[in-house]
Structure formats: structure tokens, C-alpha cells
Structure 1
């Protein structure tokens, strides 16, 4: 989701978009612009600059920091990152982004930082187009884009062919879930409480246990983890209900409330695994313009 003010600036600049950012050329340099939690940001990847230029850039930014009021500036690994902090309500005007871009371009030109209006890989100046690689904007020629596409396809083939270690990962996840389940049951047994917070620990340690066992994400991973979580959550709740449903020391309302919360947490965690738990596979495709 891209904020409307970011989108408005990008549309005026005829920029492109990824899933959560915009990017494009501004006076010869490629910038990315987007928004996060309580702030908006601009960053530029500065390839092919030496350490002396980096030091001069840092010194120049420090001297001209008055032009970037209420802006946090960080230069790391040849990425210049500007974050504009906001309050609860969006308060940054579109003109502030443009002024920041103008200042950065002026600084880059004064330091003779090379323009970025050619192919990112080979420097060609013809047959260029914008591409999205791992949610980062790139300007590539036809030849380099074909090579990048082949590289991504090869990575996907390697991922599909590699051993996923389902068995080792499942055993490790089951062992981790057994430990947490035992702690949950013993805690409930000796304190006469349900402790629904343990229903959140089981999914966490099942996930970590799968990773510790060397399990890799594949087409069966989500189903395996969801079954392990559901089994151990259900087993723990069944034991707790069987132990306490006739106990005078535990009010029925407390038992039902704790059980309901635990079931909700279990359901949400399983849904999270099905919809959001996935391998960060390489992506490469032609970028779309902001509209």
C-alpha cells in the first residue's frame, strides 16, 4: 500500500512502482520513495562511487543539514536513506519531497557522482526499461534484463530441486512443541489457571523448531506446521478442560474465557501461516507506472 501523497508525487514525476514503493529517474538519478510506520522515506543506491566520494558526501550532508529539517539521514553500504518522521496524522507536504530531491541532485552533481540514466549493469544507454527486482527498481537494457530473468529462473529451479528436510524439520518442530506444551500443562496444573499466552508460544517455537531442524520452506511446510500447531494446542486445551471443568478452584467463566482466547490465538496463527509464511523467492518483472 502506497500513501496517497507519495503516489501523487510519483504520478507527477511519471515514476514506476513496486508493491510498497515508488521509484524513477529524477534529473538523472534513480530514487525510491515510500512510507512506513509513522514516517516517509527517500533512498538512492549509489553504485560505483569510491570511499573518498562517500566521505565527501557525508561531509556535505552535514554542512547542509539545515536544508533537511526534521529529516533523518543515513548513508550506509552506498545507500543514502532519508526518513521524514510524522505524527499520528500525515503532515508532510508534497513540496518537501521535491525540495529534498532537488537538494540531493545538486549535491550529487557538485560531487561528480555519476548519473544513473543508463543500464544499471552494463552502462548501455539504449533499449532501456524499468524493472522490479526483489521490490527494488532497476533500469536495464534488453540484454541485461534477459540475463537477469535467466538468473532468477535458475534460482527458482535450484530452490525447487533442493532438499526441504520435511522429516527433520517436523521432528524438531514437534519436539519444541512438546516442551512448550509440557510447560503449559504443568503451569496450569499447579496454578489452577489456563494461561492462554502459551497458545502464542506454541506457534512461535514450532516455527523456530522447524528452522532449527534444518527444514526449508516448500509446498508442504505450511500444512505440516499448521497440523503440528493444531494438534498440540488441541491436546493442551483438552487436558486443561478435562482437569478443571469440575474443579471448584477454577471458575467456569475463567476456564471458558481462557479457552476461547487460546482457540482464537491458535486460529489466527494458523491463518498467518497459510497466508503470510512463505519463502522470499527472487522476483523479476517489468515495472508498472504509478496510477
Structure 2
């Protein structure tokens, strides 16, 4: 239904004066290109009036009708996550029961933490490659820390991991391991740059020296801080995926 509405609105793109009309599967997004001219209130009202008229022509009920059954008795606004719905009390209770059941099933489902952890680590290692290159030349950027976290989460899901309460800790641990390994790679590259022939045994012998360990730890601190600035905002997204969305009545 949403796709059909989107296609219909696209046919009135010039008339509406919108630049892009997108659908993410749950809602429609209309973008108005302001440029150097700000969007005036009367222009916005005209766009909304046109869109409302088109939706009425398609038989889409307004907020005075239940979006589930089409009834108009005692409707109110409820939210599924951030999405508003006009519902009657009967449909609200049914949806509430459905969402609670979905949440219960999600809690009981196997989250595949083990294969997900493998994927998260591999993803974080790939995501740490740009960090390693940039850090080798003496630069650090929090956005690259975000890239590591995002790559870890992608790898977690790619290997069958399902978002759950342990996901954020898996992503954090994978990011931490990848950062430590990145620092060790940088150290190895710096040693080779001095013309020293390096093998794994020599590298370990150098690494266990107290002054070297201290230097690596000192280098790791700002890396962890900056990477943390990039990774921690991602945890909010992960937390939002831990449970299915809930339905609740709008606060009046």
C-alpha cells in the first residue's frame, strides 16, 4: 500500500514542489528543497493540503478513523516506536497483545551470540584497517572509531547474530581487540621502518620490554578515547534493536 501511495505521489512531484519522496517501509518522507529560500508556513500548508487531498482520493483514512479496521468510533493516537497510528480501543488491545507476544518470542529466541561474536571480530578487524593507516601517519579521528563499531555490528549480523542484550558488549569487545591489534601493527611497521628485520619472536621480545609496553599503553589511551567517541553513539542504535518496538497511547 505504501509503495502504491509513493508512486502516486511521485506523479505529482512537480505539483507538490518536493524534491524526493522516499519510503522506508513504514512511512513516507517528503523533502522540500529550500536552497537559499526558507520554507514559508503558507507553502508548507499548501503542500500538506495537496498531499492530504491525494491521500483522500486513494481512500486513506485520516486521524479520525482507525487505520486497522477503518472505524471512526472513539479513535485516538498511539505510537509504534516513533510511528503514529490512529486506532480504536479494540484494535489497540489486539496490537498490544501482538507486540507483547513478539517481544516474548524475541526474548526466548537464540541470539546466535557465538557466530555473531566471530563475525563482529572479523568485521571490526576490517573496519580497523583505515584506522591503522591513518594512525600510522600520526592522525586520529573519532569517525573512524564509529566505522569500526559499525563494521563490527555488520559482521555480527552477517554471521547470523540477532540483536540482544549481549550485542553491545560483543561489539565493544570486538572494537577493543581490533584497536589493540591495530596499535601492535603500527608498532611493527614503525620497527620495520627503522630497518630492523622483524619476525614474530623478535617482535614479542621487543613488546614485553617494560618501556615498550608503557609506550604502547600511552599510545592506546588516546586511541581508545577517540574510538569511544565514535563507538558509543552506536550503542544507542544497538539498544533500540534489542527488543521489538512497543505500542503505547500518545500522552495527552
The yes-or-no answer on 1:209 pairing with 2:155 is yes
* Higher percent of residues as strand: 1
Query: In 2, distance between residues paired with 1:217 and 1:96?
Result: 42
Aligned twin of 2:44 = 97
Q: Give the Å deviation of 1:204.
A: 3.8
Question: In the alignment, does 2:69 pair up with 1:122?
Answer: yes
Does the 8 Å CA contact 2:146/2:234 hold for their aligned counterparts? no
Q: Is 1:229 the counterpart of 2:175 in the alignment?
A: yes
Are 1:287 and 2:250 an aligned pair?
yes
Cα drift, residue 72 of structure 1: 3.2
Answer whether contact 1:73 1:80 (CA < 8 A) is retained: no
Alignment of 1:268 with 2:229, yes or no, is: yes
Question: Which residue does the alignment assign to 2:238?
Answer: 277
Q: In the alignment, what sits opposite 2:208?
A: none
Specify every segment of 5 or more residues in structure 2 that has no aligned partner in the other structure, as ranges: 196-215
**Aligned equivalent of 1:143:** 90
Q: CA RMSD in A?
A: 4.4
Deviation for aligned residue 1:260: 7.5
DSSP-derived class of the 2:44 partner:
helix
TM-score normalized with structure 2 length:
0.67
1:219–1:73 CA distance, 2 compared to 1 (3 A): closer
Secondary structure in structure 1 of the residue aligned to 2:152 = helix
Q: How many angstroms does 1:240 deviate by? A: 2.8
Structure having the higher helix fraction is: 2
C-alpha displacement of 1:143 = 0.6
Q: TM-score, normalised by structure 1?
A: 0.59
Give the paired residue count.
Answer: 224
Q: What pairs up with 1:26-41 in 2 under 5 angstroms?
A: none
Instruction: Return closer, same or farther for 1:180/1:195 CA change in 2, 3 Å cut-off.
Output: farther
Contact residue 200 and residue 266 of structure 1 kept, 8 A = yes
- Cα distance 1:108–1:227, how it changes in 2: closer, same or farther (>3 A)? closer
Name structure 1 gaps, 5 residues minimum: 1-44, 250-254
